[in-house]
Chains A and B, each alone.
Chain A
Amino acid sequence: MIDNKGRPNRLGVVGWLGGGRWGLERYLYALHRLTGLGLLAYFVLHIGVTASRAFGEASWTAAMGRVSGPLFKTGEFLVFAAFAFHALNGVRLALVELGFAIGKPIEPVYPYRTSVDEQRPLAIGVMVVAAILVIVGGFGFLE
């Protein structure tokens, strides 16, 4: 990460959610970070819980019994939804970082156009795919 060279991030974490007239992509950015932190927290716990299979069937069954029930099932669904969002939005970010889907450079002639307008269909498209995945995966949690 590049240092800010004397222009500190004064808004801090509050700036993720408010601070200006931001477009859709800014809120996707905030949600990407929130889901990333949630997934990391879950992943650390997941390593501990799934390590129980190293001790055999009784240990595995007991561990799975401790993380069953409606509360954990709901939490697991939220993790699945967070993964679907984070993964698809991550694909969008990687594509944009590599220069795809942002349009070609153009002369700055009034009325000005921004590359954000070029990116918007990609943002909407990946969110639609993420929503479909969440709905299809969600049926598994209702069983």
Chain B
Amino acid sequence: MRDQRLWTWHIGAGAVILVLLGLHMTIMHLDAIVRVFSPQPGEPIAWANVVARGRSAFFLVTYVLLLGAALFHGFYGLRNILFELNPGTPAKKALNGFLLVAGVALFAVGTWAAWAGFTVARGA
């Protein structure tokens, strides 16, 4: 039952990623067609454009949402691949613990960076 619930979350997270990472990829790599989120001259990763997006609460919220969805989707997918290789029960427990700690730590770093970037952009 627990795995069924986690699998459903995995698919749900995939849908969230599809929308938000699709937006991110459009901004970063289809900038020749879509410039609305890169109002300043230069590439989408130019500091002026990073600041322009960084000021937006919409981007702050969607970055954190994308971060959480992608970490869960990625680490749960990795867990499934590794579990299919039939590790023993102690290895499974260790793997669960490691992936959980790594995921939470990366989420904390990413969320801090998103918030700090938002603060820097607002002050720029």
Could you tell me which A residues sit within 8 Å of B by CB distance? 1-2, 4, 8-9, 12-13, 33, 36-37, 39-40, 43-44, 47-48, 50-51, 53-57, 60-61, 64, 80, 83, 87, 90-91, 94, 97, 136-137, 139-141, 143
Contacts and interface: CB of A to CB of B under 8 A. Distances in A.
Contacts, number: 88
A80 B77 CA distance: 19
A87 B25 CA distance: 12
B60 interface: no
A8 B67 CA distance: 34
B18 interface: yes
Contacts of B86: 4, 8-9
What secondary structure prevails in chain A residues at the interface with B?
helix
A1 B95 CA distance: 14
A7 to B, nearest CB: 10
B38 to A, nearest CB: 12
Given A39-B74, A143-B32, A1 B3 contact: yes
B29 A53 contact: no
Interface in B21-50: 21-22, 25, 29-33, 45, 47, 50
A137 B29 contact: yes
Interface string B68-86: 0011001101111101111
Contacts of A64: 45
Contacts of A8: 86
A137 B113 contact: no
Contact of B47 (A1, A54, A57, A97): A57
A136 B109 contact: no
B106 A1 contact: no
B85 A13 contact: yes
A9 B117 CA distance: 45
